[in-house]
Chains A and B, each alone.
Chain A
Amino acid sequence: QVQLQESGPGLVKPSQTLSLTCTVSGGSISSGPYYWSWIRQPAGKGLEWIGRIYISGSTNYNPSLKSRVTISVDTSKNQFSLKLSSVTAADTAVYYCARDLGTISKGGFDPWGQGTLVTVSS
Chain B
Amino acid sequence: DIVMTQSPDSLAVSLGERATINCKSSQSVLYSSNNKSYLSWYQQKPGQPPKLLIYWASTRESGVPDRFSGSGSGTDFTLTISSLQAEDVAVYYCQQYYTSWTFGQGTKVEIK
A63 to B102, CA, bound (A): 11
Contact yes or no, B103 A63, CB < 8 A: no
Q: In this complex, what residue of A is CB-closest to B53?
A: A108
Q: In this complex, what residue of B is CB-closest to A115?
A: B49
Of A11-19, A26-34, A85-93, A99-107, the one with at least 4 CB within 8 A of chain B = A99-107
Task: Return chain A residues, CB-CB under 8 Å to B38.
Answer: 103, 107
State which size class the interface on A falls in. Answer: 20 to 34
A96 contacts the other chain (CB 8 A)? yes
A37 to B93, CA, bound (A): 17
B74 contacts the other chain (CB 8 A)? no
A107 to B30, CA, bound (A): 13
Contact yes or no, A110 B61, CB < 8 A: yes
Enumerate A54-100 residues with CB–CB distance to B below 8 Å.
Answer: 60, 62-64, 96, 98, 100
A107 to B36, CA, bound (A): 11
B69 contacts the other chain (CB 8 A)? no
Closest A-B pairs by Cβ, 4 of them: A108-B40, A112-B49, A110-B52, A107-B55
Footprint of A on B, CB under 8 Å?
Answer: 1, 31, 38-40, 42, 48-52, 55-56, 59, 61, 93, 95, 97, 100-106
Footprint of B on A, CB under 8 Å?
Answer: 37, 46-49, 60, 62-64, 96, 98, 100-101, 103, 106-110, 112-115
Starting from the known contacts A103-B31, A114-B48, 7 additional A-B residue pairs (CB-CB under 8 Å) come to A46-B93, A49-B100, A64-B1, A96-B49, A100-B97, A110-B51, A113-B49
- Name 9 A/B residue pairs within 8 A (Cβ), A-sorted: A46-B105, A96-B49, A107-B38, A107-B56, A108-B42, A109-B42, A110-B51, A112-B51, A113-B49
